Chains A and B, each alone.
Chain A
Amino acid sequence: MLTLFKTFNLRYLAKHKLRITTIIFGVTLGIIMVVATALVNQSILRSYHSLVDTAAGKTGLQVLSNTRSGLPASIADEVAQIKGVKAAVPVVRSDVFAFINGKQAGSLLVYGIDRKKDTNARSYEFSAGRQFRAGEPDAIVLTKAWANEKGLKTGDHINITGSRGFKEFKIVDLLSDTGPAHANLGSFAIMDINTARGLLNKAGKIDQVDVVLEDGEKPNIVQDRIKHKLDGRAEVEIPATRGTEVQRSMESMSIFLDLAAMISIFVGAFIIFNNLEISVEERRYGIGTLRALGLPRKKIFTLVIFEAILLGFIGSIFGVAIGTLLANLMSTAFADAILSFERIRITDLGVTPQIFILGILMGPVMAAIASMGPAMRMLRVAPLEALRPFETAWRPRPKTWKLVVSALILVIGVGSLLIFVYVLENNDKLSQNMQLIGNFILASIFLTFLGSVLLMPHLFLYPSGSKGRAHLPYEWP
């Protein structure tokens, strides 16, 4: 069977590179969006969780600023007085850029903490050196993972950009790979709260208060008390709820991504289906010969399906690779859109085994499903088909209505795209409605794709002047 596959199938594939490339492209197109969508969704959520969960520690509630200027530092003391609050831990928080020896070393999430109070909310495990002292102006503690990655150790110096330009810090200690050290996927640092205020120009301000609740207190009840006390001066949220809200935003974004993935799978499947149909029809005469020489139906079926699976597999490999690259581009944009306030950085875009297996399996499955129709049709090819000279072998009869509908869809797709671009250039109001633009462009592209894919068999399968044969093919009873 393998020898037969090599001589009958692979030899044909080698001679029809354009068709094979188109089929692989069809599979790749579908897989790209599926992989990219899965990766983007996964990485945003994972990044968010790593920030919220690990940095929040034992925090039951968070009091957050509802303006960009931050909260007055005194608000922590106010919150600490409220019934059910065990501790109110002030935090100054910001994303900064780090420089080592004058070269940019990436971004860091910096927490300015009150050493004494912060232990109520988070448990730090220091691995070397000494911890910074309260008010120490140039001391920073990095995570061990980040420091190792950058080749830094205790005692080294690092420059941080703040609101007042560069400031040099000495690495006085490193956080072991537990608890808060996982925050922001390890790109995390702590310093004294007053040092952070100085660096970030936030004198007398804080960014949030992490609230640790008394044992047995229900977060939503204490939340209501704090809200009542603060009377709209700040937002009060449950960290897990914030995760859910983000997840909800992500779900709506996911619908958009899933739709795009669905369309690309649909278009990809059409491309595969049409091209496999053509490639199988082209071999009807050869298949008839194989049947006449004694190849049973089920082996014909296996040859067709196996060929589709092979092409699907190749398409999958490209799809997973390109999908991962696309996810890198998309993630930052989507993270900005969903989580602009949280300023999540997407740093973890690794392909998980699940996504890899999904991507790799989906192509062959997609191709196998798309090849079912042509393969089933080939089962009905009678061995007698081999006796027809190739030139007079049966071809499917082209249907005029299909040609007209296909052409119409293509014209509508291309036409609407052109009209939309023209209207967009001349209508400022419309150009501001990004959602409408996105939807319309997506629909136009989809129609263009669909029209071209439907037209494909008319261009390749039915040569010009061919009306198909008037008689039916030989069909094996």
Chain B
Amino acid sequence: MANKVEVKDVFKTYKRGKAEFHALNGISLSIKEGEFLAVMGPSGSGKSTLLHLIGALDKPTSGEVFIDGVSLSLLGDDALSQIRREKVGFIFQQFNLLPTLTARENILLPLRIAGKSSRETERYADEVIEAVGLTNWSSNLPEEMSGGQMQRVGIARALAIRPSIILADEPTGNLDSKTSEEILNLLKDCQEQFKQTIIMVIHDAKAAAYGDRIIRLKDGQIDEEVEAYSANLI
């Protein structure tokens, strides 16, 4: 199967005053289309940075990130924005819902940004809302919802545009174990039903076992890589 995402010798350095922090140290990685990759590692190991670079939210200091064979470093703001709105669905740990919009409006936001808000796309969005169990909450504002419900809205928003890549940053970080399991099953369904490529940053080893492959980062490099069958060993 073709590589959906390719990361080649990527370095990412943050400068704060005179101090430098190397978040990624020459990491290389390939992710196949329809693969579910779990990324683990201690805080500061570079997991989120890797996710940001793949999601075109940030640019590497050196090295290259490819999506569908296209190097992101060659693209300008418009093209990068297009990748973010059409190819990538981001599930944020902090939900990142707009507080003045209802759940449904938040979910429809990527469609509106992409100018693809039509009856057909909105019908699909409503199906996603139903799938994440938010039908009765779709007209509620985020402040009226629980953490689990807000995360479901965040997931529905990421799925609404039918992206080929879903990037999830600690999607179960703020949820109880039952809700976490539901969310992980939903992501697994996305992979299996729609062949979406999923890259999930996660702390919990049990949750990481939902992935086909698990990589563990340490000091901005891949420290360990295991296939799903041996996930229970991690």
Chain A interfacial positions (CB closer than 8 Å to B): 1, 3-4, 7-8, 11-12, 15, 286, 289-298, 382-384, 386-387, 389, 471, 474, 476-477
Q: Inside 8 A of B101's CB, which chain A residues have their CB?
A: 7-8, 11
Query: Which among B27-35, B75-83, B186-194 touches the partner chain?
Result: B75-83
Give the CA-CA distance A471 to B88 in the complex, in Å: 28
Q: Is B22 an interface residue (CB 8 A)?
A: no
Docked Cα-Cα span, A289 to B109, in Å, equals 10
In the complex, A292 Cα to B96 Cα: how many Å? 10
Measured CB to CB, the nearest residue on chain A to B92 is A387
B49 — nearest CB in chain A belongs to which residue?
A384
7 closest A-B pairs by beta carbon, nearest first, are A294-B85, A294-B84, A11-B100, A296-B81, A383-B57, A289-B96, A295-B113
Residue B64 lies at the interface, judged by CB distance under 8 Å to chain A = no
Cα A294 to Cα B16 with chains together (Å): 27
The minimal Cβ–Cβ distance linking B74 to chain A, given in whole angstroms, is 14
Majority DSSP secondary structure for residues of A touching B: helix
Q: How far is the CB of A431 from chain B (nearest CB, A)?
A: 54
19 new A-B contacts at CB < 8 Å, known A8-B101, A296-B77, A383-B84 = A3-B112, A7-B100, A7-B109, A12-B100, A289-B98, A290-B113, A291-B81, A291-B84, A293-B113, A294-B84, A294-B86, A294-B113, A296-B81, A383-B57, A384-B52, A386-B57, A387-B92, A387-B96, A389-B94
Asked whether any CB of chain A lies closer than 8 Å to the CB of B41, the reply is no
Give the chain A neighbours of B115 by CB distance below 8 A: 1
List, in ascending order, chain B residues with CB within 8 A of A298's CB.
Answer: 78
Residues in A neighbouring B59, C-beta threshold 8 A: 477
Q: For B113, list chain A residues within 8 Å (CB).
A: 4, 290, 293-295
B: residues with CB less than 8 A from A are 16, 48, 52, 55-59, 77-78, 81-86, 88, 90, 92-94, 96, 98-101, 105, 109-110, 112-115, 117, 157, 169
Given A3-B112, A3-B117, A295-B85: A476 and B100 within 8 A (CB)?
A: no
A386 to B109, CA, bound (A): 15
Least CB separation from A4: chain B residue: B112
Residues of A within 8 A of B82 (CB): 294, 296
Query: Which of A11, A290, A387 has a CB less than 8 Å from the CB of B57?
Result: A387
In the complex, A289 Cα to B92 Cα: how many Å?
Answer: 10
Using Cβ atoms and an 8 Å threshold, which residues of chain B touch A297?
77, 81
Sample 19 A-B pairs with CB under 8 A, ordered by A number: A1-B115, A8-B98, A11-B101, A15-B100, A292-B55, A293-B85, A293-B90, A294-B82, A294-B84, A294-B113, A295-B85, A295-B113, A382-B57, A382-B58, A383-B57, A384-B58, A387-B93, A387-B94, A474-B58
* Assembly CA distance A1 to B57 (angstroms): 22
What residues of A have a CB within 8 angstroms of the CB of B86 in the complex?
294
Q: From B56, which residue of chain A is reached at the shortest CB distance?
A: A383
Give the nearest-CB partner of B16 in chain A: A471
Alpha-carbon distance A298/B55, docked complex (angstroms): 20
Which of these, A4, A7, A292, contacts B90 with CB under 8 Å? A292
Chain A residues within 8 Å of B83, by CB: 294
Which residues of the other chain, B, contact A296 by a CB distance below 8 angstroms? Answer: 77-78, 81-82
A192 to B101, CA, bound (A): 78
> In the bound complex, what is the Cα–Cα distance between A476 and B75 (angstroms)?
13
Pairwise interchain contact B100-A295, C-beta atoms closer than 8 A: no
Residues B114 and A476 in contact, CB atoms below 8 Å apart = no
CA distance A474 to B58 in the complex (A): 9
Distance in angstroms from B37 CB to nearest chain A CB is 19
Q: A387, B114: Cβ atoms under 8 Å?
A: no
Query: Which residues of the partner chain B approach A290 to less than 8 Å between Cβ atoms?
Result: 109, 113
Task: Return chain A residues, CB-CB under 8 Å to B88.
Answer: 294
Return chain A residues, CB-CB under 8 Å to B98.
7-8, 286, 289
A436 vs B82: C-alpha distance in the bound complex, in angstroms? 63
Give the docked Cα–Cα distance between A296 and B90 (Å). Answer: 16
Expressed in whole angstroms, the minimum distance between the Cβ of A428 and any Cβ of chain B is 60
* Known pairs A11-B101, A384-B58; A292 contacts B16 (CB<8 A): no
B residues within 8 A CB of A389?
94
Q: In the complex, how many angstroms separate the beta carbon of A280 from the nearest chain B beta carbon?
A: 15
Q: Are A294 and B114 in contact (CB under 8 A)?
A: yes
Shortest Cβ distance from residue B113 to the other chain A in the assembled complex, whole angstroms: 5
Task: Tell me the bound Cα distance from A383 to B58 in angstroms.
Answer: 8
Chain A contacts of B96 at CB under 8 A? 289, 292, 386-387
Q: Nearest-CB distance from A8 to chain B (Å)?
A: 7
**Shortest Cβ distance from residue A28 to the other chain B in the assembled complex, whole angstroms:** 26
How far, in angstroms, from A28 to B163 measured CA to CA in the complex?
47
Interchain nearest-CB distance for A41 vs B (Å): 45
Q: How far is the CB of A389 from chain B (nearest CB, A)?
A: 5
> Which residues of A are found within 8 Å of B16, using beta-carbon distances?
471
Tell me whether A386 and B92 are in contact in the complex, defined as CB-CB below 8 angstroms, given that A8-B98, A295-B85 are known contacts. yes
In angstroms, how far is the closest chain A Cβ from the Cβ of B86? Answer: 7
Question: Which partner residue on chain B sits nearest A379 by CB separation?
Answer: B77
CB distance from A53 to the nearest CB of B (A): 60
Q: How far is the CB of A3 from chain B (nearest CB, A)?
A: 5
- In the complex, chain A residues whose CB is within 8 Å of the CB of B109: 7, 290, 293
Knowing A8-B98, A387-B52, the reply to whether A292 touches B57 (Cβ < 8 A) is: yes
Closest B residue to A288 by beta carbon equals B96
User: How distant is the Cα of A367 from the Cα of B41 in the complex, in angstroms?
Assistant: 49
Q: Which residues of A contact B112 (CB under 8 A)?
A: 3-4, 7
How distant is the Cα of A45 from the Cα of B110 in the complex, in angstroms? 58
Cβ distance A471 to chain B, nearest Cβ, rounded Å: 6
CB < 8 Å neighbour of B105 from A7, A15, A471, A477: A7
A386–B167 Cα distance when bound, in Å, is: 14
A285 shortest CB reach to chain B, Å: 8
Given A289-B98, A384-B58, A294:B81 Cβ within 8 A: yes
In the bound assembly, the distance between CA atoms of A93 and B93 in angstroms comes to 86
Identify the interface centre among A289, A298, A382, A477: most chain B CB within 10 Å of its CB: A289
Cβ contacts under 8 Å, B105 to chain A:
7
CA distance A296 to B93 in the complex (A): 23
A396 CB to nearest B CB, Å: 18
